[in-house]
Amino acid sequence: LGYLWAFLPPIVGTCTFVLLNQSGILNVGNLPLPYPAYVMIGTLLWQVFADAINSPIKTITSAKSMLAKINFPREAILVSGMLEVLFNFLIRLFLLAGIFIYYGIAPPITAPLALAGVVAIFCLGFMIGILLTPLGILYTDIGQALTMVLSFWMLFTPVVYSPPTSGILDGLTLINPVSPLIVTTRDWLAIGTAGNPLPAVIVFLVTLILLFAG
């Protein structure tokens, strides 16, 4: 299917949650956007995070034989993974543009700020991926378990529903570092306002410190 794999995950994910919402199984609360657009934007942002986490383990594992035989800057392997994540995101922008056009969503003046949010989401995922890479090289179970963990992690992140204000899910959202990044980036991209961007800024700064310190 080639490049279609860049589109299939967000499309399938969006269709699944839209069906659950329309059937009344999933109650997402009041949203400032049409639900399919809300889910698609959140899913695309989440996919950046998921791709960034998987990128270091995937690229290093696939290049293990080359690393043992050829002397070259090892950072090039990580950079190639970063560029692959970026390329997939750029392809998905066409899907995002189609959603905006179909639902008549006019990008607000804050839309350029969403680029900083995407960078923050990518950096957080990439940092976690780098931390897991040494274990992922030694134990292939890490890479396999990561897919399962990300599936559960997404359910505790306001990707397909509005941020909760009470209950256990509210507490899980507060300690989830991805939540403020996705919520703020989506608000900047399609709504024009962000309730409180400070948590997203703090997460981004801490991520940069840890990323460069490593």
Each residue's pLDDT tens digit in the chain (214 positions)? 666 777 777 788 888 888 887 777 777 767 888 888 998 999 999 999 999 999 888 888 877 777 767 776 777 888 888 888 888 888 888 888 888 999 888 888 988 888 988 999 999 999 899 888 888 888 777 877 888 899 889 888 888 888 877 777 777 777 888 988 998 899 888 887 766 677 777 777 777 777 676 5
Cβ atoms of 125 and 206 within 8 Å: the answer is no
User: Six-digit token pair at 27?
Assistant: 């109650």
Task: Specify the pTM.
Answer: 0.85
Cα dist. 90→33, 42, 66, 121, 132 in Å? 23, 16, 29, 15, 26
What pLDDT sits at residue 136?
A: 80
DSSP letter at 194? -
What pLDDT sits at residue 32?
A: 81
User: Six-digit token pair at 67?
Assistant: 């690393």
CA angle at residue 107 from 106 to 113, to 5 degrees? 170
At position 211, the amino acid (one-letter code) is L
What pLDDT sits at residue 79?
A: 86
What pLDDT sits at residue 1?
A: 63
What pLDDT sits at residue 147?
A: 83
